[in-house]
Copies of this chain bind each other. A is one copy, B any other.
Amino acid sequence: MTAVRPPTIIDVARRAGVSKSAVSRAFTGGSVSEDTRERVLKAASELRYRPSHSARSLKTNRSRLIGLAVTHLDNQFYPEVIEKFSGRLACDGCRVVLFVTRGEAGLEPMIDELLGFGLDGVILASSSHAAEVAAECTRAAMPVIMFNNVDTSGRLPGVCTDNELGAAIVADHLIGLGHSSIAIIEGVPDSSTSRERVTAFRERMLKAGLPDPVLRSGDYSSQGAAQATRELLMAEAPPTAIFCANDHMALAAIETCHELGKAPGRDVSIAGFDDVGIAAWPSFSLTTYKQPVAAMVDACVEGLFAEIAGERMIGETLRLPGELVVRSSTGKN
């Protein structure tokens, strides 16, 4: 059995009795007579012909492949983001090539990978090392955009939620409920999202004349948040409310409350950030600040396409407002 090699544009041209160019035009939307187009399409489908992706990419310098770098798929926020990007990009005929960064390790080599797969552009939704990756991408003239994360060093475009606004609104909500002893569980310290949310929340409290909140690191992980929650709630004077820098940690905090026999929303209020799917489940009913993921993804894709086209739509970072979602994990003090 000889390996049947796939039909090329030449096979189609021959069978349709036209030139390669005619076939190419028929497939790329060039101008061809209706008659030619039909014959080409017929021949192509008989031959089961599909244009070779690599040949086309080589010529056009476009692969319609977009890299998406993410971390922590166990944080439900990312699967949601991935799904949205995949759907959105598919509308433009593009596909997502996934780069899952495993914690701290393996990021260096990933840069080479990111640059070596002939991608048209890259979306950095990974929370750490963004700066390094970004710098390398710019040097390689690879269009990049940050998602849910801002480039503090350079001036890369990016899209994220207005974290400061969101955190302030959550703070107001908690304060309005009568809480004055509020703790914060932050994420990875050097991630922009965590920094912005924490800072804004804190400022709001100080502005309200409340004491500086206790700060614990949850490192954006379940275990970290659980540990922080334990320490917080078992202290001598435990806080009456805890603001977690994301839902992933807030969910863990709620789990920990149960473990300690404290009822979320009654004994202690827990608030998060993201509005991940699970947050709405009755078991958690988490009060949180909803990130406008769909709008963010749209803006991000448009921004990236602009970069690819050589323009620049987004100045530095586009910050979209979200929406407070009040559920029963927060209650009056």
Contact = CB atoms under 8 A, between A and B. Distances in A.
B95 A95 contact: no
A100 B88 CA distance: 11
Interface string A33-71: 000000000000000101111110110000111000000
Contacts of A53: 54, 57, 63, 116-118
Contacts of A48: 139-140
A54 to B, nearest CB: 4
Contacts of A254: 283
A28 to B, nearest CB: 13
B102 A87 contact: yes
Contact of A96 (B74, B90, B98, B141): B98
Given A87-B100, A140-B50, A95 B117 contact: yes
B73 A79 contact: yes
B50 A116 contact: yes
A58 B87 CA distance: 28
Interface string A17-31: 000000000000000
A6 B254 CA distance: 51
A212 interface: no
A97 B255 contact: no
Interface stretch (A164-172, A188-196, A274-282): A274-282
Contacts of A95: 97-99, 113, 117
Contacts of A97: 65, 95-98
A6 B139 CA distance: 10
B87 A82 contact: no
A51 B6 contact: no
Contacts of A115: 50
Given A95-B97, A117-B95, A283-B255, A54 B51 contact: no
A115 B99 CA distance: 21
Interface in A275-295: 277-278, 281-284
Contact of A54 (B57, B86, B255, B258): B57
A258 B258 CA distance: 15
Contacts of A86: 98-100
Contacts of A52: 58, 118
A194 to B, nearest CB: 22
Contacts of A80: 73-74
Nearest to A259: B282
Contacts of A140: 6, 48, 50
A117 B259 CA distance: 49
Name, among A52, A65, A73, A277, the residue most crowded by chain B CB atoms within 10 Å (CB to CB): A73
A95 B99 CA distance: 8
Nearest to A55: B58
A58 B63 CA distance: 13
A115 to B, nearest CB: 6
A55 B112 CA distance: 17
